[in-house]
Amino acid sequence: MHSSMISEYDEEFLIKKKVMAVLEVVLLEIIFFISAWYFQWLYPSSYGWYSKLIMIFLGIMGILSHRRIRNYGLFPKNIKFSIKWSIYILLLFLTIIITGIIAACIVGFLELKVSARLLLIDAIWFFIFVGFAEELFFRGYVQSRLNEVFTKKYRKIIGVDFEWHQGTLITGVVFFGLPHILVGINPLIRIYNISLTHIIIAAFASFLGIIFGIIREKTGGIIIVTILHGLIDFTVYGIGRIIGLMLSNIITIIALFFFFAVFFEKILKEPLSEQQ
């Protein structure tokens, strides 16, 4: 009887910890959305810059509030490993992007001319205000926080043997992927637009959110996922300015195919020293 009471107490305590962790991350995500809606109402053409600064701030505050910075993605287990694979991924995307642009030139399919200044702004936006901001918040703070209480483990991911946690799954789908549906919503200015495109993007983002989370678990940091996240969005939208969204999406799909075919399993399988 005594043992049963202790077990029930432990189970209730764990449930309370899970509820508190979920409420915590929900609160910060709600704060972000309210801030984004407000800035969209106030600055319709540039609200994204302000809202992503809020996201960075919330991510940092969330991490600092738990005083375990090294466990929250800011420091990879092996900095050389993260930099090496970030460079490999960057070279992969650049090779395919350049090949795609050359092919578009040959067939005369260039969408429009884009200045170097505009491409630089796009790069800053997608790598810092999208890639870094979202990976800091979701993979650095939210995933780390949820993995502290959602400790169930999975053994595989898309056919690759790798142990990863339930908190990573919840973060990738519930807190990162599905909220993409809300991109077309802003109650402050009475916009309620949920389309099939938003649903498809949310499904794709859920899948990528899990992949980003697993790489973050492997490396202990957000460097690789920040680069990969930024590259995906920059290729779709930044390069899309040059060759059109249809071709830029095709290029992105090709780059991701080679990433999963060549790099993904190697990143998860390569030995990773804990020493920096």
Query: Tens of pLDDT along 157-191?
Result: 999 999 999 999 999 999 999 999 999 999 999 99
Q: What is the pLDDT of residues 13-39, one digit of tens each?
A: 889 999 999 999 999 999 999 999 999
Residue 100 lies in a domain: yes
Higher pLDDT, 7 or 128: 128
Mean pLDDT confidence for 55-78: 92
Tell me what pLDDT residue 108 has: 73
Domain annotation covers residue 50? yes
The total number of structural domains that make up the chain? 1
Contact 228, 50 (CB under 8 A): no
- The predicted-structure confidence for 211-258, as pLDDT tens digits, reads as follows 999 999 999 999 999 999 999 999 999 999 888 899 999 999 999 999
What is the per-residue pLDDT for 4?
55
The length of the chain, given as a count of residues: 276
Which of 139, 117, 136, 130 minimizes the C-alpha distance to 49?
130
* 273 vs 27, more confident: 27
pLDDT at 70 over 60: yes
| pLDDT attached to residue 6 | 52
Environment class of 257 (CB within 10 Å of its CB; exposed 0-12, middle 13-18, buried 19+):
exposed
Residue among 225, 222, 255, 226 nearest 239 (CA): 255
Residue 274 resides in a domain: no
| Count of CA atoms in the C-beta half-sphere (13 A) of 116 | 0
What is the pLDDT, as a whole number, of residue 275?
45
Domain extent for 205: 2-269
* pLDDT band of 91, cuts 50, 70, 90: very high
The average pLDDT across 67-94 equals 94
Angle between helices 223-233 and 245-258 (to 10 degrees): 150
Question: 């090294």: which residue's tokens?
Answer: 70
What radius of gyration, in Å, describes the C-alpha atoms of the chain?
Answer: 20
Instruction: Note whether residue 275 is domain-resident.
Output: no
Contacts 24+ apart (CB under 8 A), 44-53: 48/125, 48/129, 49/125, 49/129, 52/129, 52/130, 52/133, 52/134, 53/129, 53/133
Query: Is 276 part of a structural domain of the chain?
Result: no
Q: What is the pLDDT of residue 5?
A: 52
Q: How confident is the model at residue 276, as a pLDDT?
A: 45
Residue type, 153: K
> What confidence tens digit (pLDDT) does each residue in 109-136 have?
776 667 888 899 999 999 999 999 999 9
In this structure, is residue 29 part of a structural domain? yes
- pLDDT grade for 67, boundaries at 50, 70 and 90: confident
